[in-house]
Amino acid sequence: MRDSVVIIEAQSKGLEERSLLQKNVDVGYIVYRATNPNLAEGAAIAAKLLYEIHMQHKSISYNNRGLFPSVFFRPKKPKTADEMEKIYQKIIHAHNSPMFCSQFVVYSYQWAATQMGIPSQQIFNIDDKRANPARLAEILQGNPQFSEIGYMIANER
């Protein structure tokens, strides 16, 4: 979430900024918050920065094909800070860097963590490309870096 109402998410057109009070009213969410407020703010800034770069260069497309390996192949270790920085450099230099929804969430948090000097595996011990939505939900449930704060019920905002 960028703020209390707006989220940035990977959709079919790439990254999109959406109001939870307008466009995504019909979607339900389980809401988690990072227990480290600096990490939460850093991930929100990272997502907003990636969104703004995407709006200029259209450099983050939706990765339909990326979902397949994330579901059927075993998880890999997280990327190093250098590997994540290479992806960021590709994005700012307008090279296509496809991401799917939960991959974008994991990348944003891991990249923000590495910028703060926190190893990415302390946040999510998985490669962002292997973090399908179901796996991310499972990881969040047992992750001390996040706390479940509630639900946003579809059509009840």
pLDDT digits (tens, 9 = 90+) for 72-109: 666 688 998 899 889 888 888 888 888 989 999 999 99
Residues 6+ apart with CB under 8 A from 105: 131, 136
- DSSP secondary structure code for residue 86 in this structure: H
Residue 9: is it exposed, middle or buried by C-beta count within 10 angstroms (0-12/13-18/19+)? middle
- DSSP secondary structure code for residue 55 in this structure: H
- In this prediction, residues 138-156 reach a mean pLDDT of 91
**Which of 22, 25, 20, 9 has the alpha carbon at shortest distance from 100?**
9
- How many Å apart are CA 31 and CA 41, to the nearest integer? 16
Residue 88 within any structural domain of the chain? yes
User: Do the beta carbons of residue 88 and residue 38 sit within 8 Å?
Assistant: no
Residue 51 within any structural domain of the chain? yes
pLDDT digits (tens, 9 = 90+) for 99-125: 989 999 999 999 999 999 999 999 999
Provide the whole-model pTM: 0.87
Residue 110 within any structural domain of the chain? yes
Residue 67 within any structural domain of the chain? yes
Residue 27 within any structural domain of the chain? no
Residue 52 within any structural domain of the chain? yes
Q: What is the pLDDT of residue 27?
A: 85
Type of residue at 95: H
Q: How far is CA 46 from CA 1, 40, 53, 100, 112, in A?
A: 11, 10, 11, 16, 6
Number of domains in the chain: 1
Weakest mean pLDDT among 5-9, 19-23, 151-155: 19-23
pLDDT digits (tens, 9 = 90+) for 46-77: 999 999 999 998 888 887 766 666 666 666 88
- Structural domain span for residue 138: 34-145
